[in-house]
Amino acid sequence: MIIFNKLWDLMAEKNFSTYRLREVADLDSKTIKRLRHNMNTETYTLDRICKALDCDLSDIAEFVKDE
């Protein structure tokens, strides 16, 4: 499973609110909800998030084996 816990940590570190991420990366509230619940997300969306936060994909997501 891909999880996005690192995203929230990085946003806190960079003082980036979800509102600001939505504005800068042009995301809607449904996308934020999907990220919070570790649901499927398009690579295009991940690309926009990485550009907005000036980071790599590994900085916002990680793979965890299902138990």
Q: What is the pLDDT of residue 21?
A: 97
Distance CA 35, CA 7 (A): 9
Q: Please state the length of the chain.
A: 67
pLDDT tens for the chain, 67 residues long, are 999 999 999 999 999 999 999 999 999 999 999 999 999 999 999 999 999 999 999 999 999 998 7
For residue 42, report the phi and psi dihedrals to the nearest 5 degrees: -70, 150
Q: What is the pLDDT of residue 51?
A: 98
pTM to 2 decimals?
0.91
Question: Residues with Cβ < 8 Å from 22, sequence gap 6 or more?
Answer: 28, 29, 31, 32
Q: What is the pLDDT of residue 66?
A: 83
